[in-house]
Structure 1
Amino acid sequence: MITVILNNDPLELASNTTLAQLLLDLEQDKPGVAVALNQQVVARSQWSEQLLAANDRITLFHAIAGG
């Protein structure tokens, strides 16, 4: 198990969790979601390859349309 920080809250995960799996588990793998890992935006195309590590800081963003 590893502990990551998701939007400023600690979260325990299996040590081989990818960013894509985390977002799927959180039901946040939808269009309009963006992710920063350790203050670097991760392209959606890289989510399935990005393994999470202990103490990673993950920030989820939701796009909001407006006019």
Structure 2
Amino acid sequence: MIKLRVNEKSIEVNNDFNILQLLNQINSPQDGIAVAVNNTIVVKNSWESKTLLENDTVLIIQATQGG
């Protein structure tokens, strides 16, 4: 198990966990969001290949409409 910070909350996940698995585990939508790992945006087509590491900081931002 490894520890991550996801939107300011500490969670534990399995080793070799990727962003897509993380989104599924926390029941996050996969459309209309942006994901950054350690302050670097990760493009959506890399979510399945981007493996998370111990103490990574993940920020998930939901797009909103407004004017």
The gaps in structure 1 that reach 5 residues or longer are none
Tell me the TM-score normalized by structure 2: 0.92
Which letter does structure 2 place at the counterpart of 1:62? Answer: Q
Identity %: 30
How far did residue 15 of structure 1 move? Answer: 0.6
Which letter does structure 2 place at the counterpart of 1:12? Answer: E
More divergent stretch after superposition (46-55 vs 19-28): 19-28
Tell me the TM-score normalized by structure 1: 0.92
Aligned positions of 1:1-67 closer than 5 A: 1-67=1-67
3-state SS in 2 of match to 1:36: strand
Deviations 1:8-38 (A, max 9, x none): 1111000111111000122214211110100
Alignment RMSD: 0.9
The gaps in structure 2 that reach 5 residues or longer are none
Structure 1 runs (4+) greater than 3 angstroms displaced = none
**Matched pairs, number:** 67
Which letter does structure 1 place at the counterpart of 2:65? Answer: A
